[in-house]
Amino acid sequence: MNSPIAEQAGHAPKVGFVSLGCPKALTDSELILTQLSAEGYQTSKTFQGADLVIVNTCGFIDDAVKESLDTIGEALAENGKVIVTGCLGARQSDNGSNLVSDIHPSVLAVTGPHATQEVMDAVHRHLPKLHDPFLDLVPPQGIKLTPKHYAYLKISEGCNHRCTFCIIPSMRGDLVSRPVGDVLAEAARLFEGGVKELLVVSQDTSAYGVDVQYRTGFWNGRPVKSKLLDLVRELGVLARAHGAWVRLHYVYPYPHVDDIIPLMAEGLCLPYLDVPFQHSHPDVLKRMKRPASGEKNLERLLRWRDMCPDVVIRSTFIAGFPGETEAEFEHLLTFLSEAQIDRAGCFAYSPVKGATANDIPGMLPAALREERRARFMAVAESISTAKLQKRVGATLQVLVDAAPGMGKKGGIGRSYADAPEIDGVVRLLPPQKISKTLKVGEFTKARVVGAEGHDLVALPV
């Protein structure tokens, strides 16, 4: 099949692209868009203006599945030529056939996540590229969907765990770590392209290299182990040379994470850890089959704070998991207070189709799950508010995300304590000094003058 529209018109074929889901899915989108651009395809902001549409889907929770299926339906209605990729593409219907193809039989092709080549094969079949060597130019750092000054760096794909509430391993498979040299080469390109904050993501960042027995790779002619500690140290050295930040997400509290904390104290990565604890009670963690469920998480976390008092911990939790007793839930509230989690999010448990947790007895009524979530968030917010208040008077390094008019009317930024999209921000006041300007993607120092909700208010200095 060819592309009559693009070829007859003699213009570069245009692809509409919708990226749904988490940062891991976003990095898949970036790889596909980079490849499309490298091959001379253009992108279209509208479905009607495209010759073909790619939808990168999410299949994690029921709301995400609905959003993905609705988007595919919309793209089919408005364009008609649709390729589906991503987590939902790997889901099966109850009868064992592909869920997306069952619901939307007219899609041209369906792939699972992390399938750049398969997606490109489908694009080539349904929308062949025009040959134009000038169109092959692509920025060395590839196509980024994030603003120019921060980027996600995916270090592995898949997961060896089988948490009972999660269907990601059934969609993305077991852990596959990227070669350490490739990861570092990508990081170097990103820094050279102007990235000032690198967000390290994967399903289980602490497990990096387990699948390849921490094999030694090469970077710049030097041996480097495929191990989180070695990788973060190398990333930190690269970041330092570019005056940039490295932030770690999805780190499970394994003993070897203790070794990362001194790197934070040395300034090689931000003193910020995103640790998805999900619960504190050992019995609930066992029912969840969580990684590191046997670890003494509270002791570990307090030790991290001793080693690096500035460390900010972000975490997510589930309230009302099947069988959760009031005593188990109160254990979680006590943990939250004792651990002083800086940034906590909480979901009321909701069943996910295909998850083994659905077979655990003791499903709680929806009202009770929601009530526990609200109680959790009340405690979490009082901890967060008290912690933010303590920052008033401090001077922080802030990365500017928005600064209309060179910041003359103020702007929005983030400190080391704020990951983009998920945490609060620093609201920057108009600078008092007439010569002071703010620029997106640059750092400024700012003195904190107040706290509002999850945000700080600060004066650029």
Reference 335, options 213, 327, 98, 123; nearest CA is 327
Segment interacting with ligand SF4 (CB under 6 A) among 75-83, 122-130, 154-162, 308-316: 154-162
374-403: which residues touch ligand SF4 (CB under 6 A)?
Answer: none
Greatest Cα pair distance, the chain, in angstroms, is: 69
Check: CB of residue 459 under 8 Å from CB of residue 446.
Answer: yes
Closer residue to ligand SF4 in complex, CB, 167/446: 167
Shortest CB 157 distance to ligand SF4, Å = 11
Q: How far apart are CA 58 and CA 136, in angstroms?
A: 30
Which helix (H) or strand (E) segment holds residue 337: the answer is: helix 326-339
Q: How far apart are CA 151 and CA 144, in angstroms?
A: 7
Closer residue to ligand SF4 in complex, CB, 75/163: 163
Report which DSSP code applies to 411. E
Check: CB of residue 459 under 8 Å from CB of residue 447.
Answer: yes
Check: CB of residue 68 under 8 Å from CB of residue 111.
Answer: no
| Interface with ligand SF4: number of residues (CB under 6 A) | 10
Hey, what are 407's tokens? 């910041």
Q: How far apart are CA 75 and CA 154, in angstroms?
A: 28
Give the alpha-carbon dihedral of 250, 283, 171, 146, to 10 degrees.
-20
Segment interacting with ligand SF4 (CB under 6 A) among 146-154, 159-167, 193-201, 442-450: 159-167
165-204: which residues touch ligand SF4 (CB under 6 A)?
Answer: 166, 168-169, 203-204
Shortest CB 276 distance to ligand SF4, Å = 7
Closer residue to ligand SF4 in complex, CB, 169/282: 169
Q: How far apart are CA 240 and CA 278, in angstroms?
A: 33
Closer residue to ligand SF4 in complex, CB, 165/272: 165
Closer residue to ligand SF4 in complex, CB, 54/166: 166
3-state SS class at 174: coil
Binding ligand SF4 (rule: CB under 6 A), the pick from 81, 114, 161, 281 is: 161
Q: How far apart are CA 78 and CA 47, in angstroms?
A: 6
Shortest CB 338 distance to ligand SF4, Å = 24
Shortest CB 169 distance to ligand SF4, Å = 5
- Residue in the structure block whose two tokens are 């973060």: 232
197-236: which residues touch ligand SF4 (CB under 6 A)?
Answer: 203-204
Residue 163 lies near ligand SF4 (rule: CB under 6 A): yes
Closer residue to ligand SF4 in complex, CB, 41/252: 252
Residue 292 lies near ligand SF4 (rule: CB under 6 A): no
Hey, what are 232's tokens? 């973060």
Closer residue to ligand SF4 in complex, CB, 87/426: 87
Residue 291 lies near ligand SF4 (rule: CB under 6 A): yes
Write out the residues near ligand SF4 by the rule CB under 6 A.
Answer: 159, 161-163, 166, 168-169, 203-204, 291
